[in-house]
Amino acid sequence: MLSRAMNRILLQGLLFGGLVLVAGCRQDMHDQPRFKPLRANSFFADGRSARPLVTGTVARGTLQEDDHLFTGRVNNEFVTTFPFPVTEQVIHRGRERFNIFCSPCHGQLGDGEGAIVQRGMKKPPSYHIDRLRESPPGYFFNVISNGFGAMFDYSDRIPAQDRWAIIAYIRALQLSQNAKIDDVPQEKRQELAGAHQ
């Protein structure tokens, strides 16, 4: 009987002692060695705790391998096509983005008569001049992305897909201001004739 009680007490003592030892070895995550961002540190030869990025590092999700989509160029030439199909939805998105970012300078019709001109600033060129009507879409993408003259670049404000949508809308504006009856499909000409009567 006595040995059974002694065994129980001994076992309880061992368990309690083991728990005390395990608890004493604990190191919380908040109490771990680490560098504070941008603080000086003597561990590295350059004295900085923050390490420089490896050359060619690209942030996750930002790899831009499609030159057509992200530069408007292929083989260093401006592209003459869009990188995705131009749908009615794309045109509507382009109109919305154009009205936000472009119309203050270029005007609602793309004629260069925006609000800045009314306030005395230099008038940008109209999208309806021959030079811009004949320019490839890649040229417009380059100008929106990198700026031109007094226009600053919008690459950090407008995603690439929206820049292409704006260009699609600019093409629609150009067509709307320079369209001829021959540009209208035969079956739609009757509707136009009825609308003007």
Residues 158, 145: contact at Cβ < 8 Å?
no
**Residue 161, domain member (yes or no):** yes
pLDDT tens, position by position, 115-174? 999 899 999 999 999 999 999 999 999 999 999 988 999 999 999 999 999 999 999 999
Residues 94, 82: contact at Cβ < 8 Å?
no
**Residue 17, domain member (yes or no):** no
Sign, CA dihedral 66-70-75-80, equals positive
pLDDT tens, position by position, 62-117? 788 899 999 999 999 999 999 999 999 999 999 999 999 999 999 999 999 999 99
Backbone angles phi, psi at 40, to 5 degrees: -65, 150
CATH code of the domain covering residue 158: 1.10.760.10
Strand residue runs (E) in 10-127: 73-74, 77-78
**Can you give the residue range of the structural domain that contains 72?**
67-195
Residue 55 in this model has a pLDDT that exceeds 70: yes
Q: Which residues contact 152 (CB under 8 A, 6 or more apart)?
A: none
Based on C-alpha coordinates, what's the Rg of the chain? 33
Query: And the tokens for 115?
Result: 């609000």
- For residues 146 and 148, what is the distance between their CA atoms, to the nearest angstrom? 7
Sorting pLDDT into bands at 50, 70 and 90, what band is 195?
A: low
A 10 A CB-CB count for 114 gives 20
- For residues 144 and 153, what is the distance between their CA atoms, to the nearest angstrom? 6
- For residues 160 and 78, what is the distance between their CA atoms, to the nearest angstrom? 15
Run of H or E residues at 194: helix 186-195
The pLDDT of residue 107 is 95
**Residue 15, domain member (yes or no):** no
**Residue 26, domain member (yes or no):** no
**Residue 86, domain member (yes or no):** yes
Domain count, the chain: 1
**Residue 188, domain member (yes or no):** yes
**Residue 111, domain member (yes or no):** yes
**Residue 162, domain member (yes or no):** yes
Threshold 0.75, pTM exceeds: no
